[in-house]
Structure 1
Amino acid sequence: MSEPLLYALGVVVFLVGLAVSIALHEVGHMVPAKAFGAKVTQYFVGFGRTVWSRRRGETEYGLKAIPLGGFVKIVGMLPPHRGDDPSQVRTSNTGLFTQLVSDARTAEYEHVTPDDEPRLFYKLPWWKKAIVMAGGPVVNLAIAFALFAAIFLSIGAQTLTTTISSVSDCVIPAAEAPRTCTSTDPVAPAKESGLEAGDEIVSFNGEPIDDWSQMQTAIRSNGDSAATIGYVRDGETYETTVNTSVQPRPVGDDPAVTEEVGFLGVAPTAGYERQDLGYVVTTMGDMTVGTVEAIASLPQKMVEVTQSIFGAERADDTPMSPVGASRVAGEMVTIEGTTWTDRVYRIATLLAAVNLFVALFNFIPLLPLDGGHIAGALWEGLRNAIARLRRRPLPGPVDVGRMLPVAYGVGALLLVMGVILILADIINPVRLT
């Protein structure tokens, strides 16, 4: 298959996977809402003009022209302004935001009939509201877990093996890399020893080597001493002895921080090693922590993204829009030397990471995100519990309508962020290559 077709395939598969994830997110809201008796009138994937719709019972199912989101219409999410009677919605006020809230309440109850009143969402117990609103993000978490499990249990996790992928011809100081060798550069110890790409290192100074991390530690701690290396080539076991050299090499992720360590001059081959369910859980836990940290750093990252639109260098760890993520998906499947196993692994893990991000981002306790509704439901439960302890009448449902000005502000901010990210992904995209 040609590179352009592979690129297009990667983009299409990612976008379809993203659309399915969005659709399932909304199913996560709709199913418990219907199970609890709430009236669901619409289930749509996308925004904008309706492309297709079909009514089944009391619910209209459909697709919108812009497949970047979706929604479920649950009747009665906003309580009326006074009491439980929808006819008591306030219709006259002076403030701009107050008028917006009033208009939203009016629209909410425009088509509510007396038969609908027992099924209004705001009348549900607080814990049912929390379950309905948490259903979407929980589905995204389940998708992420299912994708990670499918990949790690079948293909495996990508790990560095003790098989050599390349041998350095010379020793180049870390501060000068990457560059080609010159006549003044010393020959790399691995080259001098006769090691070749494809050799599998099985021992170092008599100690068995099981993984690349162990091999790397052994080389670094060897300094400029002699090393006896056991390796397998074409099914035969050999040994070679060579002195490792001492070179300044980076410590951790910061290339500016170096230390003098032993140097051999070999690079490992990446391979797949099947994992168990515990690995999946651990990986999800680690990625959850990393994703939360990434969300916390979004304000600073958005500044960097905005600067990149005007010519500043764009870091690889800056956030992306679906436009940028689909571009990355296309590049993932066209990298030279990529196998079909690599392609499946990369697209599946990318979709898993996106679902994890969507889930955790939606748990932020601000409207219009799901977390804002969850926070309102939990606050209602807490208020009711306190009232019971104090033997007082229950205060009733929390009026999330009062938070609509915040929802409008957050919604506008998310819209601006989306536009900035799309512009940056077009003008100065993150590139794997």
Structure 2
Amino acid sequence: MFWILALLGFGFVIAIHEFGHFTFAKLAGVKVERFSIGFGPILWSRRVGETEYSLSLLPLGGYVKMLGEDNPAQGATVGDVSDPRSYLAASRGWKALILLGGVTFNLVSSWLILVGLAFWGMPMTPPVIAGISPTVEADGEMKPSPAKLLGLRQGDEVREVNGQRTRSWDEIAMRVAIDNRQPITMRVRREVDGKVSEIALPETAGAEVYASNSPIYRLPTIGIERPQGPSLGRVARLDGELRPNDPRPDDRILAIDGVAVPDGALGHDIERRLRAFLGRVVTLKLARGDGSRDEVAIRYAGSPRDNLAIEVPAMVTGVMDDSPAQRAGVLAGDILLAVDGESVRSPGNFIGQVNRRDGAELVLRVRRGAEEPEFRLSAADAQGQRIIGVRVAEFFAGKLPFLPPALDGSPGALAAAGMQPGDALLLRIPGGKDEKPRYLALAGGDEVLVPLTLHDLEALDDRNIFKRPLASRLFGVQITSAVADDRVAVIDALKNQDQIELGALSDETRGGLRAALAPGDWIAGARSHGEGNALVIIRGATAAPRALDLKPVSDAVALEFTPFYEPPYRLEHWSEAFAIANGSARRMVTDTLRLIPKFFASRADGGIAATQTLSGPIGIFTMFKTSAEKVGFASFLKLVALIGLNLFLVNLLPIPIVDGGQLLFLGIEAVIRRPLPETMRAVANYAGFALVVALMLFTIGIDVWRLIN
């Protein structure tokens, strides 16, 4: 059903565009030989009157083939200009109208859909701040996030960004992306002590706050979280299949341990209330998806992203300036052992332990080298969350200092798999369909650290659709010969041999590797330590690496609230429907034009990675299916309208072969008052055709790369 809807949506935006060309061609008296949806070999066709209507093999677009039109995408040749029904015989005015017919139909149809949806209730993710990241990574350091510097709070409703009205979360993200080299200002609606007021941010006069660029995805960020829906989207029992009474997708939580959840609470607020029960048994009152009411008791495992399924040591990867942790003496690279004597079982478990203390002083015990110092500190309040100012990640590279127990106190998954303290994790393998993490492990051996610079971290993760990141080739391999000419010979656990070029790393690191690496060493990965970051090398392992297919031993249940949440927007006044439709159409065109140059800019100049933001036909088709399946028909129609507006813009670009390029030719001919030479037009059309094909292949490559990765 959803695949059919996706096909219909994709086909509609193409068909309405071609129908615009078709309609104006008929009005101009031009003979239309073929109306095709798709390119390439024809799968089905039927002739009605003088026109053949067809469906072709490649659903990448469509075309209207007119008598006399020269277009390499359609396999046409130049016709006789003396034929009165030839496209070439039409006046320049009619040619312009025929060319504009497609984009006009896209614009009008999209606008009508948007107006209708606005009156019905435009599906929009509310512009509500679900959470604030106190810090972001910038230039290899933890710095206060732009959201914190702005003064944003959890629950704020963003009304304006840089003077532009925002009604949805997507509008916030677009404004941040476009204005990422400008100071950010906001106007938010905030409730304080039962009173609602609008506040301009930043509140400090003259303060300038800029977005940060994600070091991995090269996308602008200010450190805010998207709101989730109030219903459960995914439920997973860590030790196997769900039991009959367990919560299910589409259920709503009405009360937590007897405390009612406020009406209108969204997923992020409910999840914040559940945080105090991470790893503990909690009673939930549920409104089932079928309308019934129920009460169940589960051991709460957080959300699937908390990674509580497998107990792995939690490691401090960064400490925020002037935070409780920094003042107490906690360092990056510390391994978290216990909070008030209770073992830390994972990064997510540690977050829950801190939140349960509710600001009371806690005793944190860590492993630092061979020592286990303790620190006394009190967590600070951060938008309803308790934090000590550390960034915590899973320990996934190097010798295990200890094996965390399961949530119920029994031996954890690592111990159940036969691991011992002092054994090394060599490589984390992404989970398969069951989403369970897998590792390569080594028994015994010593650990050697080679310092890495910020440049090295970026070089290790540098990736695009044409190359694998260096980290994916360098981590988890054994050295077979010493480093020579900045190259090293390696072999992986499957006996695949490789020659790895290290030239992308800094001079200091290459020198360190030449001095440190020896045949037989294994490279386990990169991790934080007290002085920065380091490449972890395991030397002298007593056996070949073995795969750990870890099985959860806890009976806890992970809950995730639906990320696809687009409730209908209620108009403040009937005229707002036209403002929403007009604004959506204008922003799709103008904002896209402003984004295009950012694809060619450097990261320092606010550049955006095209591989993270562009989508081709496969990606668009997937969006249609996801929208219809996960969000609803209204959201599906909105996407149809937005894709139609995108098609309007793309076809007006001055690229030979598309409508904008042909209009440019007409304009030139009108100025010079004679036709352009046929050879020049043909060369330009074929060059434009090659460019469009190259762009299509590039975006399809991005789509496939995303599916694979």
TM-score (norm 1): 0.58
Residues 371-422 of structure 1: per-residue CA shift (max 9 Å, x gap) = 12111222233334xxxxxxxxxx4x44465222122122122222222322
Residue of structure 2 aligned with 1:411, choices 677, 682, 689: 689
Q: Match of 1:354, as an amino acid?
A: I
Query: Does 1:347 find its partner at 2:626?
Result: no
* Contact 1:26-1:136 at 8 Å conserved across structures: yes
Q: 2:415 corresponds to which residue?
A: none
Q: 1:361 corresponds to which residue?
A: 650
State the alpha-carbon separation in 2 of the partners of residues 276 and 430 from structure 1: 40
* Contact 1:140-1:359 at 8 Å conserved across structures: yes
Q: Which has the higher contact order (CA 8 A, sep 6+)?
A: 1
Q: CA deviation at 1:174?
A: 3.7
Give the secondary structure class of the aligned counterpart of 2:24.
helix
Residues 313-338 of structure 1: per-residue CA shift (max 9 Å, x gap) = 9864x211111122233444565xxx
Q: 2:106 corresponds to which residue?
A: 140
Q: Match of 1:108, as an amino acid?
A: V
State the alpha-carbon separation in 2 of the partners of residues 349 and 24 from structure 1: 16
Mapping of 1:76-95 within 5 angstroms? Answer: 76-77=68-69
| Gaps in structure 2 of 5+ consecutive residues | 138-152, 158-167, 173-185, 197-203, 214-220, 224-380, 386-564, 603-608
Mapping of 1:14-25 within 5 angstroms? Answer: 14-25=6-17
State the alpha-carbon separation in 2 of the partners of residues 287 and 35 from structure 1: 30
Q: Match of 1:148, as an amino acid?
A: L
Q: CA deviation at 1:39?
A: 1.8
Query: Does 1:173 find its partner at 2:134?
Result: yes
Runs of 4+ aligned structure 1 residues displaced above 6 Å come to 211-215, 255-258
Query: Does 1:420 find its partner at 2:698?
Result: yes
Give the secondary structure class of the aligned counterpart of 1:54.
strand
Q: Match of 1:37, as an amino acid?
A: G
Q: 2:570 corresponds to which residue?
A: 273
Q: 1:229 corresponds to which residue?
A: 194
* Contact 1:14-1:329 at 8 Å conserved across structures: yes
Give the secondary structure class of the aligned counterpart of 1:404.
helix
Residue of structure 2 aligned with 1:289, choices 573, 590, 594: 590
Give the secondary structure class of the aligned counterpart of 2:653.
coil
State the alpha-carbon separation in 2 of the partners of residues 40 and 402 from structure 1: 25
Q: 2:55 corresponds to which residue?
A: 63
Mapping of 1:27-66 within 5 angstroms? Answer: 27-66=19-58
Structure 1 residues 51 and 352, CA gap change in structure 2 (3 angstroms)? same
Q: Using the aligned pairs only, state the percent identity.
A: 24
Q: CA deviation at 1:298?
A: 5.4
Give the secondary structure class of the aligned counterpart of 1:428.
helix
Root mean square deviation of aligned Cα: 4.3
* Contact 2:39-2:58 at 8 Å conserved across structures: yes
Q: 1:12 corresponds to which residue?
A: 4
* Contact 1:314-1:430 at 8 Å conserved across structures: no
Q: Which stretch has the larger CA shift, 116-125 or 40-49?
A: 116-125
Residues 318-366 of structure 1: per-residue CA shift (max 9 Å, x gap) = 211111122233444565xxxxxx4223322222221111111111122
Give the secondary structure class of the aligned counterpart of 1:276.
helix
* Contact 1:157-1:273 at 8 Å conserved across structures: no
Q: CA deviation at 1:48?
A: 2.0
Residue of structure 2 aligned with 1:325, choices 620, 628, 642: 620
State the alpha-carbon separation in 2 of the partners of residues 118 and 172 from structure 1: 67
* Contact 2:123-2:566 at 8 Å conserved across structures: no
Q: Match of 1:366, as an amino acid?
A: I
Residues 222-272 of structure 1: per-residue CA shift (max 9 Å, x gap) = xxxxx53359xxxxxxxxxxxxxx9xxx956437779xxx97549xx9742
Residue of structure 2 aligned with 1:379, choices 662, 668, 690: 668
State the alpha-carbon separation in 1 of the partners of residues 581 and 663 from structure 2: 27
Structure 1 residues 31 and 366, CA gap change in structure 2 (3 angstroms)? same
* Contact 1:368-1:407 at 8 Å conserved across structures: yes
* Contact 1:144-1:353 at 8 Å conserved across structures: yes
* Contact 1:127-1:378 at 8 Å conserved across structures: no
Larger proportion of strand: 2
Q: Which stretch has the larger CA shift, 56-65 or 362-371?
A: 56-65
State the alpha-carbon separation in 2 of the partners of residues 23 and 329 from structure 1: 16
Query: Does 1:254 find its partner at 2:229?
Result: no
Residues 191-245 of structure 1: per-residue CA shift (max 9 Å, x gap) = 9xxxxx9xx9xxxxxxxxxx999994657xxxxxxx53359xxxxxxxxxxxxxx
Give the secondary structure class of the aligned counterpart of 2:695.
helix
Q: CA deviation at 1:369?
A: 0.7
Q: Match of 2:51, as an amino acid?
A: T
Give the secondary structure class of the aligned counterpart of 1:149.
helix
State the alpha-carbon separation in 1 of the partners of residues 190 and 37 from structure 2: 54
* Contact 1:18-1:351 at 8 Å conserved across structures: yes
* Contact 1:314-1:428 at 8 Å conserved across structures: no
Q: CA deviation at 1:290?
A: 0.9
* Contact 1:158-1:273 at 8 Å conserved across structures: no
* Contact 2:68-2:78 at 8 Å conserved across structures: yes
Give the secondary structure class of the aligned counterpart of 1:353.
helix
State the alpha-carbon separation in 1 of the partners of residues 638 and 112 from structure 2: 10
Give the secondary structure class of the aligned counterpart of 2:37.
strand
Residues 4-39 of structure 1: per-residue CA shift (max 9 Å, x gap) = xxxx61x43233111122122111111111211112
Give the secondary structure class of the aligned counterpart of 1:118.
coil
Larger proportion of helix: 1
Residues 292-311 of structure 1: per-residue CA shift (max 9 Å, x gap) = 2234455669xxxxxxxxxx
Residues 47-93 of structure 1: per-residue CA shift (max 9 Å, x gap) = 222222222222222221222221111112359xxxxxxxxxxxxxx
Q: Match of 2:113, as an amino acid?
A: L
Structure 1 residues 270 and 364, CA gap change in structure 2 (3 angstroms)? closer
* Contact 2:566-2:635 at 8 Å conserved across structures: no
Structure 1 residues 416 and 123, CA gap change in structure 2 (3 angstroms)? same
Q: Match of 2:592, as an amino acid?
A: T
Residues 116-138 of structure 1: per-residue CA shift (max 9 Å, x gap) = 71222222221111000111111
Residue of structure 2 aligned with 1:123, choices 82, 89, 106: 89
State the alpha-carbon separation in 2 of the partners of residues 367 and 59 from structure 1: 26
Q: 2:534 corresponds to which residue?
A: none
Q: 1:222 corresponds to which residue?
A: none
Residues 159-203 of structure 1: per-residue CA shift (max 9 Å, x gap) = 6388xx97x8xx973449xxxxxxxxxxxxx99xxxxx9xx9xxx
